[in-house]
């Protein structure tokens, strides 16, 4: 993947959605970095594994947070800039069926 420059307006959105490990700081940094991060990661992985193993997941499309159908896919919500992690600005409605 080519090196992206977040300062370039053309490349900013690509940079934010590149999801490269070095672009992600969910647990802070420095001397106060989250001391529960390894535990938290294992818990998140275990929860995702259980959901994927136990349920059949059928995507139903993108929806706004107000429940309106949307024709575009979600992108990181820039309103949360500075909060560590940018959540998606839209929801993916899914149907879950127990396998
Ligand atoms: C997805 C889950 C979690 C996220 C995103 C998260 C995120 C954070 C962040 C951003 C900080 C501040 C770091 C900084 O100031 O640079 C922090 C601190 C901290 N977190 Fe977490 N955390 C999570 C789960 C946990 C869990 C499960 C525990 C304990 C079992 C935990 C214990 C702590 C503690 C003790 C601190 C303070 C560290 C210090 O000041 O030295 N966190 N966390």
Calculate the alpha carbon distances from 58 to 61, 67, 88, 89, 96 in Å. 9, 18, 19, 20, 7
Ligand 1 binding pocket includes 87 (Cβ within 6 Å): no
Residue with tokens 């294992």: 42
Q: How far apart are alpha carbons 43 and 38 in whole angstroms?
A: 9
* Domains in the chain: boundaries: 9-98
Ligand 1 binding pocket includes 28 (Cβ within 6 Å): yes
Nearest CA to ligand 1 atom 16: 28
Nearest CA to ligand 1 atom 37: 34
- Predicted confidence (pLDDT) per residue in 64-74, tens digit: 999 999 999 99
- Predicted confidence (pLDDT) per residue in 15-60, tens digit: 555 556 666 678 888 899 999 999 999 999 999 999 999 999 999 9
Per-residue pLDDT band for 86 (boundaries 50, 70, 90) equals confident
> Would you state the pLDDT for residue 28?
82
């Amino acid at each position: 993947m080519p090196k992206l420059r977040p300062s370039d307006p053309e490349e900013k959105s690509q940079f934010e959605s590149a999801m490269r490990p070095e672009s992600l700081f969910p647990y802070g940094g420095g001397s106060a970095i989250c001391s529960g991060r390894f535990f938290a990661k294992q818990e998140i992985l275990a929860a995702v594994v259980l959901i994927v193993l136990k349920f059949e997941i059928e995507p139903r499309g993108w929806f706004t947070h107000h429940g309106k159908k949307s024709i575009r896919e979600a992108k990181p919500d820039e309103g949360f800039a500075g909060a560590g992690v940018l959540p998606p600005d839209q929801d993916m409605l899914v149907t879950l069926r127990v396998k």
